[in-house]
Amino acid sequence: MNTGILAAIGAFVLWGFLPLYLKALDPAQAGEILGHRVVWSLLFILLLLAIKGRWSWIAQVQKSPRLILVALGCALLLGTNWLTYIWAVTSGHIVEASLGYFINPLLNVLMGMLFLGERLRRVQWLALGIATSGVLYMTFAYGEPPWIALILAFSFGLYGLIRKRSPLGSIEGLSLETLVIILPALGYLLYLGSQGQALFGQGDMRINLLFAGTGIATALPLIWFAYGAQRITLTLLGLLQYIGPSIQMVIGIWLFNEAFSGPRVLGFGLIWIALVIYSLESFYRHRSGINARKRQAQQVQVPD
């Protein structure tokens, strides 16, 4: 099998099982988990950069201070996404968190239209309309929007939009993004320790190792995702990305007995229908493009 496919599947599977990792850190506060995730991610990424000797991006940042502002914006969005997700998992909202990542692909299409001047095809409009209907139905049924899902979808969607315009690679960009917020993260962890509220360093080696492992759990799937994205088509990558939220949803329902009935079933069902329509249309256009290029190549006449 293509190594790019394996890498992408590995990334999405790891993201899918991340709730189990975060649940193992109970009863740590979401803020403490986030702080350690930032600190240990930076250390792990810097170790990888040192092994590979990839430091040329630092000169690039020095020549273009705008990259620091871009990284700060990305870091704030990523931090919001991480904190919301951690809180959702540790508070028993895994299913709603998975909804955010089901919505995200369709939101990316909408952002492409609003911010990048991309034009939506009719089938894409249909998919967006159906997905919006699902969100609105759950909003009216529960009396409030699915805030967790929407915050996760919009924060990650905006992060991807800003990140798309950065010239830095995935590892280099993540290292800069964690670097610009490392001081607040360290400061908060020191504050928790001074107040006797930190779980880290209290003598439980298993918990300490789990905190340290958040760096690998964060950076490794991102690296695999970047590797896969460079070697397979965006269409295939888009189809594979549903692996993550599907695993999360199953974990929330079957392992942690989260509610999944009535309005939630119908709301999710509408969004899944939208995703199927969107995915099939994307796959069809991708295959049509390949066939068109093949026919064009066959029509080229090579002179004697």
User: Distance (Å, rounded) from C-alpha 293 to C-alpha 291?
Assistant: 5
Percent of the chain at pLDDT exceeding 70: 93
- Per the CB < 8 A criterion, the answer to whether 243 and 6 are in contact is no
What residues contact residue 133 under an 8 Å CB cut-off, 6+ apart?
A: 270
With 90 as the cut, is the pLDDT of residue 33 above it? Answer: yes
DSSP per-residue letters across 197-222: ---TTSS-HHHHHHHHHHHHHHHHHH
Q: Which pLDDT score is estimated for 235? A: 60
pTM: predicted TM-score of the whole model, two decimal places = 0.84
Task: Give yes or no for a contact between 223 and 87, defined as CB atoms under 8 angstroms apart.
Answer: no
Q: What is the DSSP letter of 44?
A: H
Confidence of residue 286 (pLDDT cuts 50, 70, 90): low
pLDDT at 36: 96
Q: How much is the pLDDT for 105?
A: 78
- Residue 283 and residue 277: Cα distance in Å, rounded? 10
Alpha helix (H) residue ranges in the chain: 3-23, 30-52, 56-63, 66-90, 94-116, 122-142, 147-164, 170-179, 182-194, 205-229, 234-240, 243-250, 263-299
With 0-12 CB in 10 A as exposed, 13-18 as middle and 19+ as buried, what is 220? middle
State CA 148 to chain mean position distance: 14
234 vs 147, higher pLDDT: 147
Q: What is the 8-class DSSP label of residue 276?
A: H
Identify the pLDDT of residue 41.
93
In Å, how far are 112, 114, 115, 121, 223 from 118, measured between CA atoms?
Answer: 5, 8, 8, 10, 28
Sequence-separated (6 or more) residues with CB below 8 Å from residue 223? 48, 170, 171
How confident is residue 256, by pLDDT bands cut at 50, 70 and 90?
Answer: very high
pLDDT in tens, 3-27: 888 988 999 999 999 999 999 998 8
Quick one: pLDDT band at residue 298, thresholds 50, 70, 90?
A: low
How far CA 279 is from CA of 4, 105, 156, 173, in Å, comes to: 20, 10, 20, 29
pLDDT at 104: 83
Average pLDDT over residues 182-198: 93
The token pair at 26 is 């109970």
Residue 208 pLDDT exceeds 90: yes
pLDDT bucket at 276, cuts 50 / 70 / 90: confident
pLDDT, tens only, 79-138: 999 999 999 999 999 999 998 888 887 787 788 788 878 787 888 889 888 988 988 888
As a whole number of angstroms, the distance between CA 245 and CA 242 comes to 6
In the predicted model, what is the mean pLDDT of residues 164-173?
Answer: 80
Question: How high is the pLDDT of residue 237?
Answer: 72
Average pLDDT over residues 218-235: 78
